[in-house]
Structure 1
């Protein structure tokens, strides 16, 4: 098994001068001809090395740093100070919502730490990328990390879409005025777009939804080319087999209308996701191997000055040597601890922070809490062509909860904070709440015409409307249903002849597909069992959807029921994946 931490550090270089010459040559090529040329040359060198029998380390991941360098980072288009203030208010309201439910009604459950780690990710999306439905545009689809649902409710409360009574009834949907624990359109049909509450179904469903949008466009049934599917998921959730089951399909069909944002807070329910490894490096290797574009957002803007002075890449070596269990410990401690345990482990890294106070070291953020770093990643993901993109955003679980939950082993199970912890939370995020309001867990509601809510409404209006939002009723007229004689005459005039239910169903389906009005609306979905059930006649009748068409001569080309693939095929042949077939259906 490939380790996700490096041991072959540059410090073991047997000929530094020669190495420097190679690096200088690469820098010259990049400066003169660009990164594409540099990548080509590196690929050629690597291929030639294989011919010479020279094997490389085979590490399938990049250095433990941000993918997008500061020099390529776009300017942030929003009001940073205002967005940070709005995010702080949402953090508080999400926390208060969960705590009030558990205070007033016993152990109802809910989660504080997940949204605390993902708040900036959500807000960059909400303020700049997640587009709503309009009369001309069907909008984007967003799959939300289920344990972060309180944060989405907190935003909808500020938007005026949910009342205080609604959020007071969090996890109490049975009476009819509550909010469901996790995203699900069955329970909130005009709010949640998609269900994600069972770990793993969100990532898989997002892949098949992005593919289905392409399918609809290929068949001329809907204009979906501008729509985008976003999914915010957890790093621990990636251990679910369904989470990664659709990755190669997404790459194979070049679904650049799909972006995953994996919230890498390094923790699952019981402890670290990879205590003795690095989950971010492992996920990068997984997604790169599957054919995805990978963008890592690991370090916030406060690190930029350190990286600029670190000409010997000392920090990269320290990052590579540090496993996630230790990162979690570092995240739970203060600047003094981080100075002694991380930076002073190497005299050169210690020198880099010698001018910094403990408070400044403590303020070195992870990239997933930095609006500017996240925005750069979102832009790059949206604009990337030819492959889906995953953003690996490093965060702290329970960010802002201090000793009550920040990077703590018990963060996921935290439902309550004591008064001192609540007051510290208020002070850390500069919330306009009195001590009495904090103790009462009062919701923070800015003035309706104040700068916070005005900005929030303006950003959503610019993006087409609120998200998530769902249309519970069809907006287009369904085609006329064929008369039974048109598709089931074999049964009506059967003369009491016996017929298996499978044969009857297949014949009915074949006849319905022939109807010129109703037939095009049918999407046959097969999990590699068409021949078993006598459905192979549909291969030629309606064709199998394949975005690249059929670039080979099928072995049975002379058969009346040959295996016909086409770019506008109607049948979805999913292969041996029942979960994938169900995802296409949903």
Structure 2
């Protein structure tokens, strides 16, 4: 039923000639015309390594501060494309209105209602910000256009798309998948992220699963940073990998609106490497002679609950707990599976050891992880942790409440981290189970409360 003309027939020659005019081959090919850029100066990032000396700032404000510094760079600044779907003031970005302006092809044809304020809404033909209105889908299309300009236009534009994190993977996941397929480069910033950090806005806005959904995107690197220096290290490395080394990857970072004191970057050659690979020891216990030991994993804003739990465990229960900052469960999950696959395919060679196993091989005691996301996220690396891992997370619907009440409800606050640690110690026969029962009473925890995952 099918007819194929001979290779030298007029029909086939015509088709071959058309194909040559289109560039030759028969398989799709992306031709990168943009040249690698020079990496931004280290001076842009040094401020964030020093901490805030007790001043409280949110990780969203850290990002905005870093973005404003990069926009002033004479080389890289003109390449940056901030993309915001309506919430610029929510994210504290109104200062950028005056600094770089909002792009409009016709300029500003009206007087904005905030004209009498210092940081008024300023549109301009040469503006850089893409203020898209309440449309994450439209904003994502702009992100894709800017993130593929290195190939389509030969320009290394660097998009930073910041939005309510609940309205990313859940609302426009298909467009994020399309961006990955088109080898888009750039940074997605999930603002007001986590199930318990955006107080009072209920299940519509409180995101506890975007990092779980991010596991599915092959060329996406996902991070949940807790501290200012972690954000600086990740963004600096991301610019290098995407625009200097020309890797076809893109990034997802979650940032919050909770003001907290930012510590200085710890000393040690492994800290920067650990931030990028997914985990590092942030604070070792000062109790070197304690018989009871624990390893606590913290991420994002819940890191501060873990640090409170470390103090309670040491002062009240004589448990020496080391605190680890887990910046990327996805990176640890990917590395663990990469090692498993390599070992399966190379059975007679020396097995590769996952990074998380290398970090924890000499770590004594029990393991407890807490994050503002679903329990499945830390559980995804449990098989490479030397001993059983107890995961605390925010499975379930969000609630309109304050942060303390939300963290109590989802059982991810300091007292629940302490309780989980004591329970793990009792399970390993290191303490009596009665101490766990007493802790439940001491903390005023209702053991009969509804399960937050299904209530």
TM-score by length of 1: 0.31
Q: For CA contacts below 8 A with separation 6 or more, give which structure has more relative contact order.
A: 1
Give 1 or 2 for the bigger CA radius of gyration.
1
Higher strand share: 2
> More helix per residue: 1 or 2?
1
